[in-house]
Amino acid sequence: MNSLNDKIRSLIADKGMITFAEFMNMALYEPGQGYYQKQNPFGHQGSFYTSVNASASFGRTLANAFADTATRLSLPAHFCEMGAGSGMLANDILTHLKNTKPDFYAELKYTIIEKSGYLIERQKELLKEHEGKINWTAFEDFGGFQGVFYSNELVDAFPVHRVIRIGEEVKELYVIEHEGGLTFYPEKLSTPKIQEYLDRINLKITDGQIVDLNLDMTGWVQALSSKIDKGIVFTIDYGYPAENIFASYRRDGTVTCYYKHSQNNDFFERVGDQDITAFVDFTSLQSYGHDAGLVPVSLTPQWLFLVQSGILSEIENAETDLQKASVKALIMPEGGFGTNFFVLIQGKNVTVPDDFPYRKGAKETLDILAKMNGF
């Protein structure tokens, strides 16, 4: 079998150059050779940690949030997780509901959308306790859904197009082979969808600035809406609104790599053996989704979402200082997961009441907590 590097170089030889999105797609998803297709990239044995690895409190808090949302909005007890990774989040959610909300658990159906055969087998092994409760499907076969749909750190792994302004021209950065290695080469845009994306958010790239545009995200959220009949969508990921992602001081875009928990920008090294990721533009995700019928409910920093979902009780119930610290890492601004991560909530064919917890701002939420605790 040809190595992944050989396959990429062969494609470049055939086409002359490929988009960075094509390169990133092969590096991450090439069957049997891409980073997510051949190994477990999560936790201490992989290249990066997620909120799930930081603390089981994350899963327990999401379990409460999703069950409460289904009840409040009169949705069927059906959860769907897309991109379940190691399966740890699904296990934490299901185990918590089984132990604390047995009636809800008894009714619950759990669907996982996953395209990595390796990860599906790993998930099935980890989730043996919940056998019969879960079914696996491909996104192409998913549809007619009613319930709570969610993803955690999924969209940041979609391939992106790299775009740069040179003088008065906006060009795309392609991947070419040069002097025995891979490098970037600016050329005309590969698709008019890039300019459409820029125009939609009125983005004026400054001279020499690189921006990373997630066109796969726009197609995904539009397709997702068509597959949901009635429900609520939680998208949890790291990123910011467009004005932060594409601010002029960000000169080099947001694409980065992770190898054994170390961040680097060596995009063309260790191909297939390291993660490649980019910050999510939540403004565009919300906008394209809205056009397709997903009505925005709220865009909330993860720390606030978790506080609104009751995570502070996890700190109160923690038995050790280490457990308390792991929960705090999810909501603290310094060195934690709380401020770079956002939660976008969208709904379709549901009526979301004004007192829905995630419609409250930070001040209102903290005022309510203060009153509850007698301050």
User: Domain boundaries in the chain?
Assistant: 56-159+215-241+281-372
Cβ proximity of 165 and 245 under 8 Å: no
Tens-digit pLDDT profile for residues 89-136: 999 999 999 999 999 999 999 999 998 888 899 999 999 999 999 999
Look up residue 120 and give its two tokens. Answer: 């599906």
pLDDT band at 47 (very low <50, low <70, confident <90, very high): very low
How large is the C-alpha radius of gyration of the chain? 21
pLDDT band at 337 (very low <50, low <70, confident <90, very high): low
User: Residue 338: is its pLDDT beyond 70?
Assistant: no
Average pLDDT over residues 233-259: 95
Tens-digit pLDDT profile for residues 48-98: 445 554 568 899 999 999 999 999 999 999 999 999 988 999 999 999 999
Could you say which of 3.40.250.10, 3.40.50.880, 3.40.50.12710, 3.40.190.10 is the CATH number of the domain covering 56-159+215-241+281-372? 3.40.50.12710
pTM of the model: 0.91
Query: String of b and e for 301-320 (b: at least 16 CB within 10 Å)?
Result: bbbbbbbbbebbebbeebee
pLDDT band at 370 (very low <50, low <70, confident <90, very high): low
Write the CB contacts of 109 (distance below 8 Å, at least 6 apart in sequence).
Answer: 76, 77, 78, 79, 133, 135, 147
Tens-digit pLDDT profile for residues 194-217: 999 999 999 999 999 999 999 999
